[in-house]
Amino acid sequence: MASLRVVVLFVAATVMFVAFVPPPAVAQLRTDYYASVCPNLENIVRNSVRQSMAQSQISAPAALRLFFHDCAVMGCDASIMITNSNGDDEWRNSDNQSLKREGFTTILSAKAAVDSDPQCRNKVSCADILALAARESVLQSGGPYYPVELGRYDGRASTRASVVLPRVNFNLDQLNAFFSGLGFNQTEMVALLGAHTLGAADCPFFQYRIGSDPTMDQGLASQLRGTCGSNPTNGFAFLDPSPVTFDNAFYRNLQGGRGLLGSDQVLYSDTRSRGAVDNYASNQGAFFADFVAAITKLGRVGVKTAANGEIRRDCRFPN
């Protein structure tokens, strides 16, 4: 009788334990996640991104930006790639309308390349391909190599209303508030925004500063007046003087008052973050190390698991 009671108690305790073990709050990402199912994954994505970059200089900056716009909204789940037939998706939010087509095609080409290997077909998530393509964009533009953590599942949902992104006229407190919501402290945020060493911005994002923002260098102001005066909607300028090279020139540019976006220039004009800008401006190694840590952290935001995600067959549509 006593031993039966022990067995019953043991079974009850086991059931309770299994029933109350909480699901992992954070998916277990690993750099070797696809080692057995798709051993050549990194090479496939590397070669595909190389081809996209050879076709267009916009590919790398656009793919890197796409990764941020994906991770910052609903987590790194490739929800930014979804095109819903009812017209309600993240991509169609006005804040995402400046994402360049080349970023999307870089990811779709990489996905097609991955799926052309029979071993890999429909085994690798679009979210992971985005993370790998972002790394390749950095690396193949002269930036640091870093191992990419993998094992994200793709989200099933994408809505216009879910998109909340930082704005170009944010001050430092507003920037800190947004990025602390993603888990970043101020120095990590300054490092992450070094992504603006690549690419360009359209006039509507900086034109309002010309002549009214005293932190803007006068030479830059007159140059931009020329750029946007004749072509206010389609004119653009580069975010730093070496827009296809991933380097620390972005920070030196800020020291000279030559940052294009208000949200970038404020990192220098506000003395609370100026020290980090000065550090990265004088020490590219420090920038690279901190950028790698920051973008790796970005890649962990809101990661989905098999329980709430899927491996999308076509990155544009939930299965």
Residues contributing to the site for ligand HEM (CB under 6 A)? 58, 61-62, 64-65, 68, 98, 100, 166-168, 175, 192-193, 195-196, 198-202, 205, 261, 263
Nearest residue (CB) to ligand HEM, 191 versus 281: 191
Hey, what are 212's tokens? Answer: 């009214």
| Cα(204)–Cα(112) distance, integer angstroms | 34
Nearest residue (CB) to ligand HEM, 120 versus 131: 131
User: Any known ligand binding at 102?
Assistant: no
User: Any known ligand binding at 173?
Assistant: no
CB of 193 to ligand HEM, least distance (A): 6
Phi and psi of 150, rounded to 5°? Answer: -130, 165
- 69 labelled catalytic: yes
Hey, what are 27's tokens? Answer: 């998916």
User: Any known ligand binding at 314?
Assistant: no
Nearest residue (CB) to ligand HEM, 61 versus 75: 61
Among 69, 111, 304, 312, the one annotated catalytic = 69
CB of 37 to ligand HEM, least distance (A): 28
CB of 313 to ligand HEM, least distance (A): 27
Nearest residue (CB) to ligand HEM, 166 versus 318: 166
CB of 236 to ligand HEM, least distance (A): 6
Q: Are 304 and 233 in contact (CB under 8 A)?
A: no
Hey, what are 197's tokens? Answer: 């060493």
User: Any known ligand binding at 148?
Assistant: no
User: Any known ligand binding at 197?
Assistant: yes
User: Any known ligand binding at 143?
Assistant: no
CB of 127 to ligand HEM, least distance (A): 15
| Cα(221)–Cα(66) distance, integer angstroms | 28
The rounded radius of gyration (Å) of the Cα atoms in the chain is 22
| Cα(245)–Cα(209) distance, integer angstroms | 26
Nearest residue (CB) to ligand HEM, 115 versus 290: 290
Q: Which residues are annotated as a binding site?
A: 70, 73, 75, 77, 79, 90, 166, 196-197, 240, 247
| Residues with active-site annotation | 69
**Residue list for the binding site for substrate:** 166
Residues in binding site for Ca(2+)? 70, 73, 75, 77, 79, 90, 197, 240, 247
